[in-house]
Amino acid sequence: MAAIEASSHAPTPLLKDELDIVIPTIRNLDFLEMWRPFFEPYHLIIVQDGDPSKIIKVPDGFDYELYNRNDINRILGPKASCISFKDSACRCFGYMVSKKKYIFTIDDDCFVAKDPSGRSINALEQHIKNLLCPSTPHFFNTLYDPFREGADFVRGYPFSLREGAKTAVSHGLWLNIPDYDAPTQLVKPLERNTRYVDAVLTIPKGTLFPMCGMNLAFDRELIGPAMYFGLMGDGQPIGRYDDMWAGWCIKVICDHLGLGVKTGLPYIWHSKASNPFVNLKKEYKGIFWQEEIIPFFQSAVLPKDCTSVQNCYLELSKQVKEKLAKVDPYFDKLADAMVTWIEAWDELNSGGASDKLPNGKA
């Protein structure tokens, strides 16, 4: 892949010392060549899934650290059981070990997209803009994001709400291969998303959404401990619901804490569709379960004394155990893993934990 030429007057990268890029992978990361003009100034955290003896090649010039399953087991010990294996949900380990304020995560089959004018889209830059501008979760602005250039609050928007709320999550979209479930893939095998919608929306308070983890950024200090991608993959009865689970959890917690979640720009180019028959095997229980999971999250209420993300998440884990374990024993196990995740997060993000971490810069 030829690298895309950067602008001749390249601006100083935004937040280059405050943001990590997390990439889960099982293969060589040749796709980074396409992203070089945009990613090279940043630190990468690569979470290798699958066989830890396999050598993952990373193009020269990138500043990165790479963790495989042996590293995860070494760093977390018994608590490594909360990190999924043989599933891209392992990416959340990168969120845990990062020491930066912001995280951008992307899949290795996501390429640089172009806007309608043919210009390459710097997805990371747009995510940063989304995160640094307030959200409007408490009242919907019909002109979309009022903080974007050329937009504002429309007539009738309450002045008392115009300061907005801090933005915790920026959820990007995809051109080419849409993020469909297996049944939709099977009935629409040739469908491609060619529509570029130049808009960023705040998802209203009280509204859930299906979060996709392949083009996602978030404020780690505001919501990081809730960005757990669950138990998926090897040894689990379900897959491809890792980002969905995290999205439902973070939305309930963001609503409770008065934080905002944005969706829309930026776009990436999703290059290939995964096998729908393999996906169906992973998803089929989730397709049934979500009809009970979603009403659970829609009705979830967190106590007023839950004022930290960790406390909110632990409370949510109790409710999962109480109300979803009757759906399937898996949710009892998942609720326990949610607690383990918070324990591991706090352990690695407290003073004196850093000596366990370094994998060394590769």
Rounded to an integer, what distance in angstroms lies between the CA atom of residue 341 and that of residue 76?
10
Looking up residue 259, the CATH number of its domain turns out to be 3.90.550
**Domain count of the chain?**
1
CA distances from 289 to 64, 138, 233, 286 (A): 38, 30, 16, 5
Report yes or no on 1 lying in a domain.
no
Has residue 233 been placed in a domain? yes
Q: Which of 155, 261, 260 is nearest to 211 (CA)?
A: 261
In which band, very low, low, confident or very high, does the pLDDT at 356 lie, cut at 50, 70 and 90?
low
Q: Is residue 355 part of a domain?
A: no
Strand-pairing partners, residue 346, are none
Digit-coded pLDDT (tens) for 243-264: 999 999 999 999 999 999 999 9
Residue 201 is assigned to a structural domain of this protein: yes
Q: Which of helix, strand or coil describes residue 173?
A: strand
Q: What residues make up the domain containing 262?
A: 19-348
197 within a domain of the structure (yes/no): yes
List strand residue ranges (DSSP E) for 193-299, in order: 200-202, 215-219, 260-270
Looking at residue 1, its pLDDT comes to 39
Helix (H) or strand (E) holding 220: helix 220-223
2 — pLDDT class (breaks 50, 70, 90): very low
Q: Is residue 239 part of a domain?
A: yes
Q: Mean pLDDT, the chain, as a whole number? A: 94
pTM of the complete model = 0.94
Dist CA 151 CA 275 (whole Å): 41
Q: Residue 11 domain-assigned?
A: no
Burial class (CB in 10 A: 0-12, 13-18, 19+), 229: buried
Question: What is the distance between the alpha carbons of residues 163 and 135, in angstroms, rounded to a whole number?
Answer: 9
Q: In sequence order, which residues have a C-beta less than 8 Å from that of residue 351 and are 6 or more positions away?
A: none
Integer Cα distance of 218 and 195 in angstroms: 25
10 in any annotated domain: no
Q: Is the pLDDT of residue 318 over 90?
A: yes
Dig out the tokens for 187 from the structure: 């009935």
